């Protein structure tokens, strides 16, 4: 072997060793990158899984909350319907009360709503106008005498469900059962709810 061949062989040997060293470094670096990539992938996969679990839990919580709200709304609606029906039954029980009880109630309401010291006109509905007991007006006059109020029964009628309308000059006071129940609706609802739901 000549000197040149030895030099070439030395260079090849060193080159091969260097190439092998570089390949080894590259393999190690590739393995390191693969490990880091795998770790990063596992980390991302775990985060995605956790985010998914959290989102599913939130969706479930929202669904349960929405269902509870719908149930409360239905319950409230049912309670309101029940209260409305009870108030309507109470109003109808007044309208359809036995005649003696009915006109006694009217006399009490008229006495309570008559204007002291004023003269007015009392309007009833057609049904009540036709069945006014003979002693009703006489008894009513006696009840109102202490306050100085005076009422005359009108010849005409008003289209009301029951109760009466008082007219003083041009001013009307609607004391029909529908108007009285409507005016006292909130108070009556509270009372009925207190009895039924508490």
Residue by residue, pLDDT tens for the chain (198 residues) are 677 677 777 777 777 777 778 778 778 887 887 888 888 888 887 888 888 888 888 888 888 888 888 888 888 888 788 878 887 888 888 888 999 999 999 999 999 988 898 889 999 999 999 999 989 999 999 998 888 898 999 999 999 999 999 999 889 899 998 888 888 777 767 776 677 666
Residue 1: predicted pLDDT? 60
Q: Are residues 40 and 62 in the same domain?
A: yes
Integer Cα distance of 148 and 40 in angstroms: 97
Helices 136-145 and 99-113 pack at an angle, to 10 degrees, of 30
Residue numbers of the domain that contains 7: 1-96
Residue 188: predicted pLDDT? 65
Among 75, 79, 133, 77, which residue's Cα sits nearest to residue 107?
A: 133
Token pair for 187: 């108070």
Q: Are residues 152 and 113 in the same domain?
A: yes
Residue 34: predicted pLDDT? 80
Among 96, 124, 155, which residue terminates a domain?
A: 96
Our count of domains for the chain comes to 2
How would you class 82 by CB atoms within 10 Å of its CB: exposed for 0-12, middle for 13-18, buried for 19 or more? middle
Cβ atoms of 103 and 132 within 8 Å: the answer is yes
**Beta-carbon neighbour count of residue 128 at 10 Å?**
21
Q: Are residues 24 and 61 in the same domain?
A: yes
Residue 5: predicted pLDDT? 73
Q: Is 159 left (phi over 0), alpha (psi -120 to 50) or beta?
A: beta
């Amino acid at each position: 072997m000549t000197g040149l061949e030895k030099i070439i062989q030395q260079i090849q040997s060193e080159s091969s060793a260097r190439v092998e060293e570089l390949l080894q470094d590259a393999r190690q670096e590739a393995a390191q990158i693969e490990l880091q990539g795998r770790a990063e992938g596992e980390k991302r996969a775990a985060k995605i899984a956790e985010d998914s679990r959290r989102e599913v839990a939130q969706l479930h919580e929202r669904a349960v909350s929405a269902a509870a709200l719908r149930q409360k709304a239905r319950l409230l609606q049912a309670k309101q319907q029940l209260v409305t029906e009870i108030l309507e039954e109470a109003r109808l029980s007044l309208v359809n009360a036995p005649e003696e009880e009915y006109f006694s109630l009217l006399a009490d309401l008229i006495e309570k709503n008559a204007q002291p010291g004023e003269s007015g006109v009392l309007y009833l509905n057609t049904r009540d106008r036709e069945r006014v007991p003979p002693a009703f007006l006489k008894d009513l006059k006696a009840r109102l005498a202490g306050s100085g109020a005076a009422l005359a029964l009108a010849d005409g009628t008003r289209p009301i469900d029951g109760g009466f309308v008082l007219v003083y000059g041009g001013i009307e006071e609607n004391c029909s059962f529908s108007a009285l129940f409507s005016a006292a609706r909130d108070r009556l609802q509270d009372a009925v709810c207190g009895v039924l739901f508490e």
